[in-house]
Amino acid sequence: MGDPKKLYIKTYGCQMNVYDSERMAEALGGQGYVPTDTPDDADMILLNTCHIREKAAEKVYSELGRFKGLKAARPDLKIGVAGCVAQAEGEEIMRRQPMVDLVVGPQSYHRLPEMEARAGGGVKALDTDFPAEDKFEILESRPKARRGPTAFLTVQEGCDKFCAFCVVPYTRGAEVSRPAARVLDEARDLVERGVREITLLGQNVNAYHGAGPDGDWSLARLVWALNDIDGLERIRFTTSHPNDMSDDLIAAHGECAKLMPYLHLPVQSGSDRILKRMNRSHTAESYIRLIERIRAARPDILISGDFIVGFPEETDQDFEDTMNLIRAVNYGQAFSFKYSTRPGTPAAERAQVDPDVADDRLRRLQALITQQQRAIQDSMVGRDVRVLFEKPGRMDGQMVGKSEYLHAVHVTDARPQVGESYQVRITHSGPNSLGGDLV
């Protein structure tokens, strides 16, 4: 038997792409591929792309350009593009970069083995369909290798919201939820292999409505079923939409012991006028009232959010409304971006905000968010938190993990091992992490 073939995957974007890359590697493992950390000695290079950020496609073409020398030196090297840029620009990728052997969209990567075989025969392979078959069911089960203590688990894909700035409905398709039994089987498998914390993933994860034995299950019901799995210590989920934050899910935050007190709930803007132009279908007031209900159920919950500044036609007053919402909510973490156009989306055709104005607004918003994040982090000093340790730190004898609130926590102590949880008393707060001592 010859040496195994080497697969190099570079993953861009969200946690869902991280999960997808793992499954792609598993699918190609049946073709004799093993992972490698460098493209230099790879037999196949696969870029798993994201279309959310500005100039995403151009960055992919630039990355592909770096591999021209490798392809020239080794004509048998296969190069593939997967993910959302592949979905949006499949034929254009093939036209602009003839060295690319295969292009596969995010709903078709279960077909990678047959596409790889075709590419091996010198035939270009392009698949950006939205197939009827369930890719998760078709993919072989995960190999039984040990895993780290945390893992992502996709339960829902696609989006029916059609926000005016977003390409996800066009690249990932309509909302689809995986059957509850399959999710639970995969979760049990992960726990058997050492996983202690699972983060459920979806473009609109709280819109989950997977088939159960007695009708469709909500995300809350799925969380409660996961709560019963022995050995699973923590449950998280992301990303949520305010309109799908149901009563039973809010209640679960207050009642389910394994559901962590951290919630990422994007709002995007605090201006009702801009929210309407974004097609967000909620108001600033309804979002704030929702946060109040969630905090009533779980008073210590840490809220995270997303913000877009400089959305087309955003005025100074619209921006100030967003700043007021941030002050009202008090975020423990947030992700903020300057609006960038996405061809084919409604907002791309509207009057754009001056880039210098948008830059200034982003700077001011991020300064406020940073102030709130740091204040909440500093308030943790003196408190006891439960830390799941994930890896050694940079210093000898140091271990690093995450608290219930997703804060990075480090201790200098020989006792914790990867995958173990300890109570830690926080003694100091740094710019990006907390430090403490085992209790």
Q: What amino acid is encoded at 18 in this protein? A: V
Burial 218-252 (b: 16+ CB within 10 A, else e): bbbbbbbbbeebeebbbbbbbbbbbbbbeeebbeb
pLDDT in tens, the chain (439 residues): 467 899 999 998 778 888 888 888 888 887 889 999 999 999 999 999 887 665 677 888 888 998 989 999 998 999 999 988 888 888 889 888 999 999 998 878 888 888 888 887 788 888 877 665 565 665 555 555 678 899 999 999 888 887 877 767 666 777 889 999 999 999 999 999 999 999 999 989 999 999 999 999 999 999 999 999 999 999 999 999 999 999 999 999 999 999 999 999 999 999 999 999 999 999 999 999 999 999 999 999 999 999 999 999 999 999 999 999 999 999 999 999 999 877 677 777 788 899 999 999 999 999 999 999 999 999 999 999 999 999 998 888 899 999 999 999 999 998 999 999 999 999 999 988 999 999 9
159 is in an annotated binding site: yes
* pLDDT of 151: 93
* pLDDT of 335: 93
* Same domain (yes/no): 180, 287: yes
* 150-154 vs 156-157, strand pairing mode: unpaired
* Same domain (yes/no): 352, 389: no
The sign of the dihedral angle between the CA atoms of 417, 420, 424, 428 is: positive
Among the candidates 378, 400, 418, a domain finishes at 378
Instruction: Write down the pTM of the prediction.
Output: 0.81
* Same domain (yes/no): 204, 173: yes
* Same domain (yes/no): 274, 172: yes
CATH label of the domain that carries residue 107? 3.40.50.12160
* Same domain (yes/no): 117, 142: no
CATH label of the domain that carries residue 390? 2.40.50.140
256 is in an annotated binding site: no
* Same domain (yes/no): 26, 122: yes
CA 186/CA 153 separation, integer angstroms? 8
14 is in an annotated binding site: yes
Do 347 and 164 form a contact (C-beta atoms < 8 A)?
Answer: yes
∠ CA 151-425-305, nearest 5°, is 50
Among the candidates 327, 360, 378, a domain finishes at 378
* Same domain (yes/no): 306, 355: yes
* pLDDT of 145: 65
* pLDDT of 396: 86
- Which domain does 405 fall in, by range? 384-438
Q: Which of 430, 381, 380, 427 is nearest to 405 (CA)?
A: 380
* pLDDT of 180: 97
Measure the N-to-C terminal CA separation of the chain; round to a whole number of Å: 53
- In tens, the pLDDT along 255-268 reads 999 999 999 999 99
* Same domain (yes/no): 393, 292: no
* Same domain (yes/no): 92, 190: no
* Same domain (yes/no): 121, 179: no
* Same domain (yes/no): 364, 410: no
CATH label of the domain that carries residue 275? 3.80.30.20
* pLDDT of 1: 47
**Cα 71 versus chain centre, distance:** 31
| Domain total in the chain | 3
* Same domain (yes/no): 172, 238: yes
84 is in an annotated binding site: yes
Among the candidates 127, 160, 191, a domain finishes at 127
163 is in an annotated binding site: yes
